[in-house]
């Protein structure tokens, strides 16, 4: 009861929690609308599901930047049965225990190389391609360290759709020069001297997790 009373005395906490509840419910409504539109041909049901989608977009815009059209463009890129998107990230460590990071063009911040999985690729194929495109290095995936639900970890900003993040340990196959095609910069960083991270993509705790698996390969794959 004391925790509830303390919470009641904190208007900012109440606003933050309410905002998160609205965001989650908007995502749930978007999923219902998208899946309904995919499976029904009934003109009246499609109209109703369209109205649900419009209402969800309005709610999502209220708790983001207020740009409903931007939210609409993001959510209409996803068609069919509503299912989580897949993001792959590859961790490469050098002999000194430094991790390979790339600096994103979008926000100028640093992250593990990675991105969306593509069709006709397995997860390991996708992560090796992403590392090559974003750093220039050729690698092989040696271990799936974790499959994490982005919603359950403190990534910012929130996304209008659900994402599962696949984290792989990768091994460099040959020495070579950095030759990124999709990023601004590439570098090796000690875990106690990290550059500003793109927390939308990776968190310090996830880098520590990957390093723990590097040091102890027998650790089980983590999830959620």
Q: Collect all residues with Cβ–Cβ distance below 8 Å to 47 and sequence separation of at least 6.
A: none
User: Could you report the per-residue pLDDT of 163-189, keeping only the tens digit for each?
Assistant: 999 999 999 998 777 888 889 999 999
Q: Which domains does the chain have, with CATH numbers?
A: 2-75 (no CATH), 85-223 (3.90.79.10)
pTM: 0.73
Q: How far apart are the first and last CA of the chain?
A: 30
Q: Residue 207: which residues within 8 A CB-CB, separation 6 or more?
A: 91, 99, 112, 191, 194
Contacts for 144 with CB less than 8 Å, ≥ 6 apart: 123, 124, 166, 167, 168, 221
Sites in the chain below the pLDDT cut of 70:
1-11, 65-66, 75-79
Segment 66-105, tens digit of pLDDT: 677 777 777 665 667 878 889 999 999 999 999 999 999 9
> Could you identify the residue written with the tokens 């984290």?
167
């Amino acid at each position: 009861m004391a925790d509830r009373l303390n919470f009641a005395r904190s208007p900012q906490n109440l606003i933050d929690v309410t905002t998160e509840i609205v965001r989650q419910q908007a995502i749930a409504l978007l999923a219902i609308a998208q899946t309904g539109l995919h499976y029904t041909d009934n003109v009246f049901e499609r109209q109703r599901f369209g109205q649900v989608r419009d209402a969800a977009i309005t709610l999502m815009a209220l708790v983001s930047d207020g740009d409903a059209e931007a939210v609409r463009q993001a959510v209409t890129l996803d068609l069919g049965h509503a299912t989580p998107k897949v993001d792959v990230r590859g961790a490469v460590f050098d002999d000194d225990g430094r991790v390979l990071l790339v600096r994103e063009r979008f926000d100028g911040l640093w992250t593990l190389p990675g991105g969306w999985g593509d069709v006709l690729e397995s997860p390991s194929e996708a992560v090796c391609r992403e590392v090559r495109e974003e750093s220039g290095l050729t690698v092989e995936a040696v271990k799936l360290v974790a499959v994490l639900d982005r919603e359950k970890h403190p990534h910012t900003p929130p996304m209008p759709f659900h994402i599962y993040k696949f984290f792989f340990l990768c091994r460099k196959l040959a020495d070579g020069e950095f030759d990124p095609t999709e990023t601004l910069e590439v570098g090796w960083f000690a875990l106690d001297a990290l550059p500003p991270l793109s927390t939308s993509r990776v968190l310090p705790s996830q880098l520590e997790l990957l390093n723990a698996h590097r040091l102890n390969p027998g650790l089980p794959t983590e999830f959620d």
